[in-house]
Amino acid sequence: MVRNIVISETDLLADLTERTRKSLPPDWTISLDPARDPRQPDILLELSGPDGRKGFIAIECKRRLDPKDVYTVFRNHLAHSADPLMVLAPFLSQTARDRLIEAGVSFADGTGNLRLVLSNPAVFLSQQGAVKDPTREKRPLHSLKGPAASDVVRAFCEWRPPYGVRELAQTAGIPPASVSRVAELLYRDDLIERDDRGRILTVDWERLLQRWVEDCKVLVANDHRSYFEPRGMSALIGKLRNSKIAYSVTGSLAASKIAPIAEPRLAMIYTEEPTRLAETLGLRANETNPNVILICPKSKSALQRTQEIDGITYATPCQVAADLFNGPGRSPQEADAIIAWMRNHEDVWRKST
């Protein structure tokens, strides 16, 4: 049930009941009953199996549920009820749904997303609804697309908190307003923790990277050109050592220097001068079977805080991992290897403000 208007609680409950009824065999019965305790949510969903056993789920209706509020809702429910909990809302984001699953809470929303788990009688229902909010609620920031957001994400990942918004902005050379807007989005999505003064206390950098690449895929967000180096990666590396044009190697070639799992077959290189760099390296244009992709970054951070290894300039592990998440072939496995390395070497790649 996808609508472009605000969905009432009555409509949500009616839709939940109907979807549950259609998903179960015809010899099951479903009803909505008042809560047994005034401190509980207003409604109980009752399910009766063909053998007469009854199960109850307490329904907590929310106009909106941000991921950061999931555990608060769950803890408040546990304090007053032993019945399993279901959260019902007009729309629940993927991150909110993930948090609810982690907490063992059932959920449903007005776009068709449904997960209902009951142990006695045993019931498991799962349905996929909308990925994005169809009401298109206006927020200060709702996506991590764009170069400004990318610069801030890199800063949040690469500098170890605690720090204030202005402190991080000054350290990373980013406008404070950009840091503040992204911080608000990340706080709603439960990716950072803040104190009462707004200082950032913790950053879940791993989940933040995954959230970032959902919105910002490297070859979609940036202009790029495809080339072929007939002599392979070793020849390319030798030529890069002599390059006077600024660049930063990312992708599989960079992964092979941080957490190698196989010989790289594709080089991805950031540069603000792709045509000149291609000419300097003697690359041949090739759109059908490239082994080199030159990327002209829209985000200034792609060419910042680089590292030099054996005379070659590489992007930071944070950038490399993000660029590999949605890459071709074994790129996702290489991203996993980079993330594992990053977990064990935070003191190497994260900085203090």
Query: In the prediction, which pLDDT does 41 show?
Result: 57
**Please, what's the b/e burial string for 175-203 (b: 16 or more CB within 10 A of its CB; e: otherwise)?**
eeebbbbbbbbbbbbbbbbbeeeeebeeb
Q: Is the pLDDT of residue 92 over 90?
A: yes
User: What values do phi and psi take at 317, rounded to 5?
Assistant: -55, -35
Tokens 């009688």 sit on residue = 121
Q: Are 190 and 68 in contact (CB under 8 A)?
A: yes
Q: Is the pLDDT of residue 212 over 60?
A: yes
Confidence label for 308 from pLDDT (cuts 50, 70 and 90): very high
Better-scored residue on pLDDT, 241 or 326: 241
Domains of the chain: 9-127 (3.40.1350), 147-215 (1.10.10.10), 218-352 (3.30.460)
d(CA 319, CA 251): 9
Which tokens is 194 given? 């803040």
- Tell me what the mean pLDDT of segment 108-126 comes to: 93
Q: Are 165 and 172 in contact (CB under 8 A)?
A: no
| CA distances for 159 relative to 125, 339, 343, 347, angstroms | 42, 16, 14, 10
Query: In the prediction, which pLDDT does 282 show?
Result: 95
- Tell me what the mean pLDDT of segment 148-164 comes to: 95
- Tell me what the mean pLDDT of segment 58-67 comes to: 90
Tokens 């970032």 sit on residue = 212
The percent of residues above 90 in pLDDT, for the chain, comes to: 62
Helix H or strand E encompassing 346: helix 346-349
Q: Is 13 helix (H, G, I), strand (E, B) or coil?
A: helix
Give the model confidence (pLDDT) of 273-295 as tens digits: 999 999 999 999 998 899 999 99
Q: Is the pLDDT of residue 113 over 90?
A: yes
Tokens 């030529």 sit on residue = 239
Q: Are 57 and 86 in contact (CB under 8 A)?
A: yes
The percent of residues above 70 in pLDDT, for the chain, comes to: 94
- Tell me what the mean pLDDT of segment 303-325 comes to: 93
